[in-house]
Structure 1
């Protein structure tokens, strides 16, 4: 199998632009700072997995934001997300990444527990499956791996609802594809998710938000 390209769908850690649902707990600046730390965790996990090239697919685009100021690790390739809803942006990234026949793993930056080992498992599953999926406990997903592209996996999806993973499973089944589903992980989207951060990140939160669930 060709090396697996990992594409990280990322928003710049700009106050008021990213992690807006965490602003009531952390403030706009605090939410952006946490987003920056989670971005670093995601990039380092992808690079450490060593399954293939790692692409950071970003919003705002490279001409609109100084991404170099974030001092992210080297060894990345870069692309802009472009316009459209999340599905349109993910579809473009997936189609581009698979255009040369190589498999792709799409991931975000909201799940610090998505480590290099899980990325290797999801990538290895594509040896004998058409798709791999790591659901999120809130009903979405934290990772989608694909051997090839099909736009129906991204069109008219109820993004940011508890039905995303289930609908993705249904669409994969309709395609007749073999799916490998790995155990669910927890995204950090809402204030009630903050206690599920890794201990080192949780220690930087205000004291009242640090207690484990």
Structure 2
């Protein structure tokens, strides 16, 4: 039943000065890297026992010896280009490989839970798409039951307009949307304070 339901996890290879750069401006590169490693561990823990085909997409190189165990996660490299081009490629590839549902998440949202991801997949039995809105104007989760290429075009990625523009596109295409609870992505120092409370 589950081998055709695909969970894609977008990550960055954790490297000093390359991750959580907005956060690093106020807390420094070293702390930002530590925060990102915490976020990766939380995402791994959240997804570890989920019954879907799980694929981790790395931004720089595929790491065969990290927290994403090879017997639980497939591993691939993100395509070069904008975030939209990377997501387009990953989701298109999954559907071309006979996925019936595809959900994509990042590794920036410590509040995401197994329950939310399961709700996302289940909602795709009734809805064309599912969105997990982030309170910065983006989204922490996107899912679809069929590939919708337009969602990944003509967006100002990593800005506060992404969620709004994505919803507009889907409505213009007459696609139904299931909305998940709004959560926080960790991008700024205020978000980091929230993360610290979550971890305590």
| TM-score when normalising by structure 1 | 0.87
Give the total of aligned pairs. 197
* Aligned-residue offset at 1:21: 0.8
Matches within 5 A, 1:91-102: 91-99=88-96, 100-102=98-100
Cα distance in 2 between the residues matched to 1:198 and 1:127: 36
- Residue 73 of structure 1 corresponds to 69
Give a deviation string over 1:172-211, Cα, whole Å, max 9, x none.
112211110112001100112112115363x5xxxxxxxx
Contact 1:49 1:117 in 2 (8 A): no
Q: Gaps (5+ residues) in structure 1?
A: 204-213
Aligned CA distance change for structure 1 residues 200 and 180 (closer, same or farther; 3 Å)? closer
- Pick aligned residue for 2:86 from 78, 83, 89: 89
- Residue 54 of structure 2 corresponds to 54
Q: CA RMSD in A?
A: 1.6
- Residue 190 of structure 1 corresponds to 188
- Pick aligned residue for 2:164 from 154, 163, 166: 166
Cα distance in 1 between the residues matched to 2:107 and 2:173: 28
* Aligned-residue offset at 1:101: 4.0
Cα distance in 2 between the residues matched to 1:159 and 1:141: 11
Give a deviation string over 1:117-170, Cα, whole Å, max 9, x none.
100111110011110001001111000011111221011211111111111111
Contact 2:6 2:99 in 1 (8 A): no
Contact 1:113 1:198 in 2 (8 A): no
Aligned CA distance change for structure 1 residues 80 and 41 (closer, same or farther; 3 Å)? same
Matched, 1:133 2:131: yes
| TM-score when normalising by structure 2 | 0.92
Contact 2:13 2:61 in 1 (8 A): no
